[in-house]
Structure 1
Amino acid sequence: MNHDSHTPTDAATPTAPPPTGFTDYVKSLGPGIVVVVSWLGTGDFISASVAGSNFGYALIWTLLIAILSRYFIVSTMSRYQLCNSVGDETILDGYGRVWRGFPTYIGATTCVLGFVYVSFLLIAAGTALDHLFAAVVPAGQWGTFCWAIPTAAAALWLASRRDGHYRALEIVAQLTMAVLVLSFFVALVGTGVDFGELFGGLLFELPPGEAGYITAASTAVGLIGAVGGSAANLLYPYLMHEKGWRGQSYRKLQRIDLRFGTLVMFGLVLAVWVVAAETLHGTEQGVSSADGLALMMEKAIGPAGPPIMWCAVFFTVFNNIVTQPRVFVRMFVESLHKSRPDRAEHIRLRHRMPANAHKELFLHDRVFWIVFLLIMTVPLVFSLPFMPGMVVLTLLGNSVNVLTVPAVIIGLIVMTTRRDLMPASHVNKWWQTTTLALIGAIGLWATYQLILSVVNLLG
């Protein structure tokens, strides 16, 4: 059954024309790059550099498995949103069919995540700008806070745009991607690549020593859990919706777009891993923060390395700040409208919106703007000198995923296996359901380990 034949189209978000040829497909790509840049926080770079500095090329296969796991999760979400047989426009609609309370629960917990994410992202952005402009504008210990303020203001302006919001996201993402590709291309030229070791790292090579198997297993589980169970996976279906992709006719384009974005992400994180392996492995020097990344780049290409790295860090986290909070708060407000349809109808009538514009009502709801402004501004206090550092907040943010992992995975499994919600050609096969369950279990285990790390760090 073709979803297009019965799915309403939002007046404020017109359906994009389906591509018909190679050039059209290339021009239509977009959500994959936007979401990949949103997934690439300093945490991804730090994790890859830590693994590269500690183990060299040995565990690169764990990165490959982790990214394939994320691709599988997000592709499954996209399959439901585009191919369901009941007219659901967004993934949150599907969760509501599993249990009425799911949308509200997911919306509320992702808002909590958004607050924590923005807190450490603003610290990262402020730190990057402080390092870049310290010689021009010396601010001492207040540098991070001073630069976090204009960062938050610029991100708030972009993220609050009613018209052209998605196009602004694409421009920011494309600019960020250009900076990242250029940065690590230059770094790889400076360090070189040991292709023999790289090939071995993709063939399940284990580090030497008795703890090799344990190290490989724990690293793989940690990476898979971090990406497979991340609430940030919910971003991609909503970016597709903002792009205007509706119905089964966009499934091919969506797969190409997500595969391209996933490939780019793998290439960028792999580049960080290789640079760390070439510059830090065997030197007893590691990476534990964004400062370590700058040191790594200095070893790779000299004095120009740190400024290049700080530029890459800033653009990456800025894209996150612009993208994540708006989607997370939108999910919360849409869940509020699903539980209180009278509120949604009142807003629609007050603003004289057409009946098929229900997915854009969030922009006219005061709750959206109140919560959104709180998430975008209050986290600035964590940039003050006496507040917890970025490492603590990053661990805390990742551990809060325990609030969303069970709901996201369980709901997704139920949605995509129910034949009353999915056409027979798109319902889960047994192996797909098993894979989802396995990734979910690993995600819960990894989140539990992160919580223990936070408890130990704070204790």
Structure 2
Amino acid sequence: MSANSNDAASTVSSDNSPATGPRRRGILGSLREFGPGIIAVLAMMGAGDLVTASVSGSNYGYNLMWLLAASLLIRFVIVNIMGRYQVLNLKNQSIMEGYRDVARWYPWAIGIAAVISGHLLNGYMVRGAGEALAEIFTVGDPFLWSCILVVASIFVICKNVYKTIESIMKLLLAMMTVVFLGLAIYSVPDVGEIVRGTVGFGIPDNTGAIGVFAVALSLIGAVAGSMANFLYPYYVRDKGWRGVGFKKLQRNDILFGISSAIVISLSIWVVGAEILRPNGIEVTNLDDISQALSIHLGAVGGVIFYLGAFGILYSSVVGFANGFPKIIVDCLHIIRPARRERYGDHFEDDPSFKWFSLFILISPIIWAFPGMPGFVTMAVFVTGLQAVVVPLVAIGLLILANKKSHFGEHKANLFENIILVLTTLLTIWVTIQVVIGWF
């Protein structure tokens, strides 16, 4: 698959401006062209959003809703700048080459973080997806279904066909949106409470099975700070969008993806606040969420939830196994330039891509063994751990996004710079609160 494959209607001239841009199309035509944002956002969402949104809603009602809104805004700013860099940077670089220009140790740090994050993130995605399939089919145990899921996924990711993955993700997005939005509408949410929780900036009492600051850190890590944010510029690269003619399409693409995430995350939160919380159910595993739905909708309610849960989890399994190796191989090529000269700019041509992909897909099966940490506990811990890299990512992006030598007139604006600075400060503050809570 070439980096400029698919339906990119552009060739790039020597000054990095497109000879032609994407063909003008109506709304439906633009929706058909969208893809990188859908793939990246569904991979980013995963269990982190499913668990932290439901835990927050069930434990704290709408009191932390402002943090969800802030996190999604942060994600849009970070990921949009990364995508814009891929489309418009004056040096025709990948995002990781840009970070290398900020500091030479960045490819080492982010490459190692990508290997660890890919393994841990897919660890609870595979476990949770196995649990969902076991509940849907009512035969076999979750570990067996996790193994079946991994084996089946090998045939998807080893094709390295962008279009195939894009089609799968669009189907899963449609299914998830219908399932979770339908459940949220069924619960008849209190719109006034949603508004107050979104603009109130309140910190509720530290109640529930999981501490409020741990939940807050997990929410920031799941939504704003995940290493998965780096996936988007690589999917933009695969799509072949390059040059100023694609600037608007790229922005609308990630805006559509983030908007979809808002609908799904808000819907999951509403289910937690309106269905789980009134029934006194604290979320410690997937079955806790389906239990409340079964009370209201019978057995079909549980099945409906598990279908949505499987969609949100499996989209991440595929997205991570295909996306994280791109980041890792790019870092490897920057550290070892001779390897890029040997295999070229097409990451999938490097044999290490296949091995990293298989590692990120297969090694997480160890977390599905009986007796390993519970799905929800692992999800909150790992997504919270992701938030630790937020300052590293945000500070590097803040410097890169303001390099006129790289970005030219498209460098970060005042609003984007403010968001990046506040993101770093917010994450450091919440992390300190978590550490204080440990002692």
- Scaled by the length of structure 1, the TM-score of the pair is 0.83
Alignment of 1:66-215 (within 5 A): 66-88=71-93, 90-134=94-138, 137=139, 139=140, 143-162=141-160, 165-204=161-200, 206=202
Distance in 2, Cα, partners of 1:233 & 1:411: 14
What displacement does 1:399 show?
A: 4.5
Aligned CA distance change for structure 1 residues 245 and 332 (closer, same or farther; 3 Å):
same
Question: Residue 354 of structure 1 corresponds to which residue in structure 2?
Answer: none
Q: Contact 1:191/1:301 (CA < 8 Å) preserved in 2? A: no
Instruction: List aligned pairs for 1:49-448, cutoff 5 A.
Output: 49-88=54-93, 90-134=94-138, 137=139, 139=140, 143-162=141-160, 165-204=161-200, 206=202, 223-347=219-343, 358-360=344-346, 362-401=347-386, 404-423=389-408, 425-446=409-430
Q: Which residue pairs with 2:6 in the alignment? A: none
Q: What is the TM-score when the length of structure 2 is the normalising length?
A: 0.87
- Find 1:5's aligned residue among 13, 36, 40: 13
CA contact (8 A) 1:123 1:144 kept: yes
Q: Is the 8 A contact 1:110 1:404 kept in 2?
A: no
Q: How has the CA–CA distance of structure 1 residues 188 and 428 changed in structure 2, closer, same or farther, with 3 Å as cutoff?
A: closer
Superposition CA RMSD, Å = 3.1
CA distance in 2, matches of 1:92, 1:417: 16
In 2, distance between residues paired with 1:236 and 1:168? 17
What letter corresponds to residue 422 of structure 2 in structure 1? L
Does the 8 A contact of 2:218 with 2:381 survive in 1? no
Cα 1:38–1:208 change in 2 (3 A) is closer
Percent of paired sites with the same residue: 30
Distance 1:121 1:210 in 2: 27
For the residues of structure 2 that align with 1:397 and 1:218, how far apart are their CA atoms? 11
SS of residue in 2 equivalent to 1:193: coil
The aligned length equals 426
Secondary structure in structure 1 of the residue aligned to 2:406: coil
Q: Which has the larger radius of gyration?
A: 1
1:122 alignment partner AA: V
Alpha-carbon shift at residue 110 of structure 1 (Å): 0.5
Seen in structure 2, the aligned counterparts of structure 1 residues 8 and 326 have a Cα distance that, compared at 3 Å, is farther
- TM-superposition CA deviations, 1:126-174 (whole Å, max 9, x none): 111111122xx3x4xxx11111111001222211213xx2212222212
CA, structure 1 residues 257+296, in 2 after alignment: closer, same or farther (shift >3 Å)?
Answer: farther
Change (3 A) 1:452 1:293: farther
The structure-2 alpha-carbon separation of the partners of 1:220 and 1:337, relative to structure 1 and needing over 3 Å to count, comes to: closer
C-alpha distance in structure 2 between counterparts of 1:109 and 1:241, whole Å: 21
- Residues 37 and 256, structure 2, Cα contact 8 Å, conserved in 1: yes
Q: Is the 1:228–1:440 contact (alpha carbons within 8 Å) kept by the matching residues of 2?
A: no
**Which whole-Å deviations, capped at 9, do the CAs of 1:339-385 have from their partners, x for residues lacking one?**
222222233xxxxxxxxxx321x222222222322222122122121
Q: Which moved more, 1:307-316 or 1:441-450?
A: 441-450
Deviations 1:54-95 (A, max 9, x none): 33334433321221111111112122222222222x211211
